[in-house]
Amino acid sequence: MERQDGLRGAQSHDRAVPAAVAESFRQGWADTNLRLPPVSGAAYAAKRRAAVSARFPGERVVVPAGGLKVRSNDFDYHFRPHSAFLHLTAEQGTQAVPDSVLVFEPTGTGHAVTLFTRPRSPRGGGPHGAELYSDRRHGEFWVGRRRTLAETADALGIEAAARDDLERALHGNVPTRVVRGEDAFIDALVPPDPGRDAELCTLLSELRLVKDEWELEQLRAAVDHTVAGFHDVAGELRHATNLERGERWIEGTFNRRARLEGYGLGFETIAAAGSHACVLHWVRNDGPVRDGDLLLLDAGVEADSCYTGDVTRTLPVSGRFTEAQRRVYDLVFAAQSAGIAALRPGARFGDFHNAAMRVIAEGLDDWGLRPGGDAAHDRALYRRYTVCGTGHMLGLDCHDCASARSEAYLEGVLEPGHVLTVEPGLYFQPDDLTIPEELRGIGVRIEDDFVITADGAHCLSSGLPRSADEVEAWTAASR
């Protein structure tokens, strides 16, 4: 039998609710009204929905928020709605309801858009009468009050209906596009149309390339909170050196800021001390933070609207770089500066990467580093030490707009309203025999977030020191 809370196969030791208690739950409640302010981005989201509608006339479009995922037995991971759903609703992380689905139903003139969702747990019985007190995933006494359908419609400016009505709404022989892999019920109900579905994902990604004013406000907030988290960490460096797993202390310090100011993290915090900095996505964070080492912190606060920052700083834990650390830092700094100087509308997306990598390749040549060969002109070999690209679009996803066509992104041209990171790095693995010993185990990345403007680019993360001297002064003072 399926459990009330939908957790098939999960075990718990909740006591059965006697009939008299169930009856008592059905009465004696005052009417309440959730007076939530309307969602601030609702009008912007309406324009995005209009763009989807205009692109797919006569077709049904289905964009699920996704649901809860079991973490362990009857506990779930923190819920984070799918980014396309967030983009088209401007829903806030904390208010978002798992299993919600946005449906564009074609009409003669365009589309009627309905948000199918779970309404507030009913009181007074009915088919979902026990949800209130016995459903540990969705019941109000377990997870808190959701909006009623009317409250949802008011907050988001979208017609709202119960998810129970979804099956009926999706019937009929209407060409349908679905964001797949988010809602197993819909995936089973609506036969896939791979071509149509992929086109939908491409459009939804490309709609996110240019950020509107409201999105820029969200990103500014996310990056400001991220900058605050970095300052928190600088203030905890000394304490972290006293702990066996100082990286975890750094992670926790940043994560506290993320939950305090936003919905959470844009991605798992990378707190990498010593040679862990040579692992691009080091999230085990179980190492010590030692005086004399570098600490690479790559982290982002996700705002309540789920837009995220993504910033990296590499700090000398003692407050002073060694000579070798500074040499690497200065080269990465010069590469990042060259990348930043290449940001402007009309430039190709690849230009800032090429500008940064030219500096890296020439710097490595000057140091006599020619990995795996002796052709100094063969600059691609520098990739042994840089491993990945120099930046990416940033927005609701840290690596935003992932389904955009190559010609609109990687091969595309920068436009005002694009938001992206510039984050060159050098990673000298501790066991790399092609480099001098003093460089082994040094990893440096410097990452900032930029919005392309009418005549250049504006740095959103300029509240953090960037040059070696500034970073030394900041770290030393914070200690």
Which residues sit at the interface with Mn ion, rule CB under 5 A? 310, 421
Q: Binding partner of residue 152 among Mn ion, ligand GLY, none, CB under 5 to 8 Å per kind?
A: none
Closest CA to 459 of 321, 296, 302, 337: 337
Q: Binding partner of residue 267 among Mn ion, ligand GLY, none, CB under 5 to 8 Å per kind?
A: ligand GLY
**Which of 151, 182, 261, 298: binder of ligand GLY (CB under 6 A)?**
298
Q: CB of residue 412 vs Mn ion: minimum separation in angstroms?
A: 18
Q: Binding partner of residue 141 among Mn ion, ligand GLY, none, CB under 5 to 8 Å per kind?
A: none
Q: Binding partner of residue 142 among ligand GLY, Mn ion, none, CB under 5 to 8 Å per kind?
A: none
Q: CB of residue 353 vs Mn ion: minimum separation in angstroms?
A: 13
**Which of 44, 142, 185, 267: binder of ligand GLY (CB under 6 A)?**
267
- Virtual CA dihedral for 190, 191, 196, 201, nearest 10 degrees? 60
Closest CA to 385 of 334, 338, 349, 332: 332
Q: CB of residue 393 vs Mn ion: minimum separation in angstroms?
A: 10
179 residue type, one letter: V
Contacts to ligand GLY from residues 166-185, by CB under 6 A: none
Q: CB of residue 452 vs ligand GLY: minimum separation in angstroms?
A: 18
Q: CB of residue 436 vs ligand GLY: minimum separation in angstroms?
A: 28
Number of residues that bind ligand GLY (CB under 6 A): 4
DSSP bridge partners of 296 = 272, 314
Residue 310 in the binding site for ligand GLY (CB under 6 A): yes
Residue with smaller CB distance to ligand GLY, 355 or 398: 398
Residue 279 in the binding site for ligand GLY (CB under 6 A): no
Residue 203 in the binding site for ligand GLY (CB under 6 A): no
Kind and range of the H or E element at 243? none
Q: What are phi and psi of 47, to 5 degrees?
A: -65, -40
Residue with smaller CB distance to ligand GLY, 162 or 402: 402
Closest CA to 248 of 225, 214, 220, 282: 282
Closest CA to 445 of 276, 287, 239: 276
475 residue type, one letter: T
Residue with smaller CB distance to ligand GLY, 44 or 267: 267
Cα 82 to Cα 208: distance, rounded to the nearest angstrom = 13
**Which of 398, 426, 451, 457: binder of ligand GLY (CB under 6 A)?**
398
What does the buried/exposed string (b/e) look like for 280-295 if buried means 16 or more CB atoms within 10 Å of the residue's CB? eebebbebbbeeebbb
Residue with smaller CB distance to ligand GLY, 308 or 318: 308
Using a 10 angstrom Cβ sphere, with 0-12 exposed, 13-18 middle and 19 or more buried, the burial of residue 249 is buried
Q: CB of residue 223 vs Mn ion: minimum separation in angstroms?
A: 12
Q: Binding partner of residue 185 among Mn ion, ligand GLY, none, CB under 5 to 8 Å per kind?
A: none
Beta-strand (E) ranges in 192-327? 264-265, 270-273, 294-299, 301-302, 311-316
Residue 436 backbone class (left: φ over 0; alpha: ψ -120 to 50; beta: rest)? beta
The residues that touch ligand GLY, with contacts defined as CB under 6 A, are 267, 298, 310, 398
